[in-house]
C-alpha cells in the first residue's frame, strides 16, 4: 500500500511490528487497581448502609472483582454474578463449568457456581432454581450483614426482586453506588487507561491508512477491531463509522457503503481495550486525505472550537451548572444536529456523569466536577439539509490544574 500519511505525526501511531502491542503494565499496578476498585465499592456500601451489593452487570463485576468471562453473552444471559459484602467476602458466582477462570484473582475470596434461573436456562424449572438462588443470596447476607438486610442490586429481573424481598431483604438501587464508585480513578487505573488509548490510537492509524476510495465503511472499521483484538483488547460497544452523506444525520452504523474520494469520514471508537478499560475517541478526516472543501473546513473548525473551549473549561470543584455557564455556545444553524451531551464520564465504559449541552441543560443531573474524574468531551457539527457532519471527541482526566488529555492522535489541519 502506498504511503498515505501526509501528516507524518499520524504515522508514528501505526503499529508496524506485525504483532499486537505488548502491554508494559506490571502486575503490581493491576493488583493495586483491583484493590482500589473493590475498596471504592465497599466505601459506597458503607455510605449507603448496605450489607452487600449483588452485581449482574458484567462491567460492574469486572470493576469489583476483575472477573471477566463471556461478558457480552452475559449481558443477556444472567449466568454470572457477584456478591460483595461491606464487611465480609467478595464472592464470584461463575457460569457452570468455568469456575476455574476466576481462580487466582487475589481480591476474590470465594468462587461458587452460579444458579441460572432465567427462562432460557431454566425453562419450566425456573421457579425451582429461583428459590435455590434466593436462599443462597439471603444466607450470605444474613451471615455477614450483622443484622443489616439492606442489599444493593445493580440489575435484576422482577422475579428475583420479589424472591429476595420475601426473604426479608430490602432492595436498594445499586447503580447509583457503582457509578459513583467508578467515577474517580486511581493513578493505577489511569495507567491502564493510557495503555488502552495507545492501543486504540494504533487502530486509528490503521483506519487512517485505509481510508481510501473504494473501501467500504466496514472495511475501514475492521482495522480498529483488528488492532484491538491482537493487542489483548475485548470489544467495541458500537459500530459508529460513516462516510459522506451517511454522516448526516449521525448515529448511522457502518455499512457496505463504498467510500468516495473527498467524503468526510467520521467515527466514534467506543473501544473496550486491554484490562477492560474504554477508549472513547472520535475523529473525522477526508477519504483519500484530500484537502477539505470550504464547507467541510467550516464544520471541522466549529467542532474543534467546541472541543477546545469545553476542554479548557473543565476545572475540579465546578458544579455542573457553573460548568454549563462556561461552555461553548452552539450557533443556531448547528443546534438541530448537536450531540446529546457536552461530556460524559468514562472508565470501563461510558459512566456517570453525562452532562447535556447548554440548550438542554434543564434536564441535567446535579453534581460537581472532581479531580481524577475521566471524561470524554464531545462535538457533533452539521446542518439539517447539509451533506455531512463532523464528529470529534477527546478523552481527558481532570487534574488540580484542569483537563489533561489522554489521547493525542492529531487533529486535521484546517
pLDDT tens across the length of the chain (414 residues):
567 877 788 999 999 888 999 999 999 999 999 999 999 999 999 999 999 999 999 999 999 999 998 998 999 989 999 999 999 999 999 999 999 999 889 999 999 999 999 889 989 999 999 999 999 999 999 999 999 999 999 999 999 999 999 999 999 999 999 999 999 999 999 999 999 999 999 999 999 999 999 999 999 999 999 999 999 999 999 999 999 999 999 999 999 999 999 999 999 999 999 999 999 999 999 999 999 999 999 999 999 999 999 999 999 999 999 999 999 999 999 999 999 999 999 999 999 999 999 999 999 999 999 999 999 999 999 999 999 999 999 999 999 999 999 999 999 998
Burial per residue of 282-309, b for 16 or more beta-carbon CB atoms within 10 angstroms, e otherwise: bbbbbbbbeebeeebeebbebbbebbbe
Q: What whole-number distance in Å separates Cα of residue 77 and Cα of residue 147?
A: 32
Number of domains comprising the chain: 2
- Residue 355 shares a structural domain with residue 262: yes
Residue 219 lies in a domain: yes
Cis peptide before 353 (omega within 30 of 0): yes
Residue 414 lies in a domain: no
Q: Could you list the residue range(s) of the whole structural domain that residue 57 is in? A: 48-182
Provide the sign of the torsion angle of the four alpha carbons 140, 146, 147, 153, taken in this order. Answer: negative
C-alpha cell at 399: 487534574
C-alpha cell at 122: 431454566
Residue 27 lies in a domain: no
Q: What whole-number distance in Å separates Cα of residue 260 and Cα of residue 295?
A: 17
Give pTM, 2 decimals. Answer: 0.94
3 state SS of 412: coil
Alpha-carbon separation of residue 353 from 74, 96, 346, 394 (angstroms): 25, 36, 9, 16
- Residue 393 shares a structural domain with residue 280: yes
Domain C-terminal end among 182, 197, 229: 182
Domain C-terminal end among 182, 208, 232: 182
Residue 239 has a CB neighbour count (10 Å cut-off) of 17
- Residue 209 shares a structural domain with residue 312: yes
Amino acid at each position: 500500500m502506498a504511503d498515505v500519511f501526509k501528516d507524518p505525526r499520524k504515522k508514528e501511531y501505526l503499529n508496524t511490528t506485525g504483532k499486537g502491542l505488548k502491554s508494559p503494565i506490571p502486575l503490581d499496578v493491576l493488583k493495586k487497581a483491583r484493590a482500589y476498585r473493590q475498596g471504592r465499592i465497599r466505601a459506597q456500601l458503607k455510605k449507603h448502609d448496605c450489607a452487600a451489593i449483588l452485581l449482574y452487570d458484567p462491567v460492574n463485576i469486572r470493576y469489583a472483582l476483575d472477573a471477566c468471562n463471556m461478558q457480552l453473552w452475559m449481558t443477556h444471559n444472567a449466568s454470572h454474578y457477584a456478591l460483595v459484602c461491606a464487611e465480609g467476602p467478595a464472592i464470584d458466582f461463575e457460569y457452570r463449568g468455568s469456575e476455574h477462570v476466576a481462580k487466582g484473582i487475589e481480591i476474590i475470596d470465594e468462587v461458587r457456581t452460579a444458579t441460572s434461573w432465567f427462562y432460557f436456562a431454566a425453562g419450566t424449572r425456573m421457579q425451582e432454581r429461583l428459590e435455590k438462588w434466593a436462599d443462597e443470596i439471603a444466607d450470605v447476607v444474613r451471615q455477614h450483614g450483622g443484622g443489616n438486610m439492606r442489599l444493593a442490586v445493580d440489575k435484576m429481573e422482577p422475579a428475583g426482586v420479589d424472591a429476595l424481598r420475601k426473604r426479608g431483604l430490602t432492595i436498594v438501587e445499586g447503580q447509583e453506588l457503582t457509578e459513583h464508585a467508578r467515577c474517580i480513578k486511581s493513578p493505577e487505573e489511569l495507567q491502564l487507561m493510557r495503555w488502552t488509548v495507545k492501543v486504540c490510537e494504533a487502530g486509528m492509524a490503521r483506519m487512517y491508512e485505509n481510508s481510501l476510495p473504494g473501501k467500504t465503511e466496514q472495511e475501514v472499521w475492521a482495522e480498529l477491531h483488528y488492532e484491538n483484538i491482537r493487542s489483548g483488547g475485548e470489544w467495541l460497544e458500537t459500530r459508529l463509522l460513516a462516510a459522506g452523506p451517511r454522516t448526516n444525520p449521525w448515529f448511522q452504523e457502518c455499512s457496505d457503503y463504498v467510500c468516495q474520494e473527498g467524503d468526510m469520514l467520521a467515527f466514534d471508537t467506543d473501544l473496550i481495550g486491554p484490562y477492560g478499560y474504554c477508549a472513547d475517541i472520535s475523529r473525522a478526516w477526508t477519504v483519500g486525505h484530500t484537502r477539505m472543501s470550504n464547507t467541510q473546513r467550516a464544520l471541522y473548525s466549529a467542532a474543534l472550537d467546541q472541543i477546545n473551549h469545553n476542554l479548557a473549561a473543565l476545572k475540579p470543584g465546578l458544579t455542573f451548572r457553573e460548568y454549563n455557564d462556561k461552555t461553548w455556545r452552539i450557533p443556531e444553524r448547528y443546534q438541530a444536529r448537536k450531540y446529546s451531551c457536552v461530556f460524559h464520564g468514562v472508565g470501563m465504559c461510558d459512566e456517570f456523569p453525562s452532562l447535556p449541552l447548554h440548550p438542554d441543560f434543564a434536564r441535567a443531573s446535579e453534581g460537581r466536577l472532581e479531580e481524577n474524574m475521566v471524561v470524554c468531551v464531545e462535538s457533533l457539527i452539521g446542518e439539517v439539509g447539509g451533506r455531512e457532519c463532523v464528529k470529534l471527541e477527546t478523552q481527558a482526566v481532570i487534574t488540580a490544574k484542569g483537563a489533561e488529555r489522554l489521547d493525542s492522535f492529531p487533529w486535521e489541519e484546517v
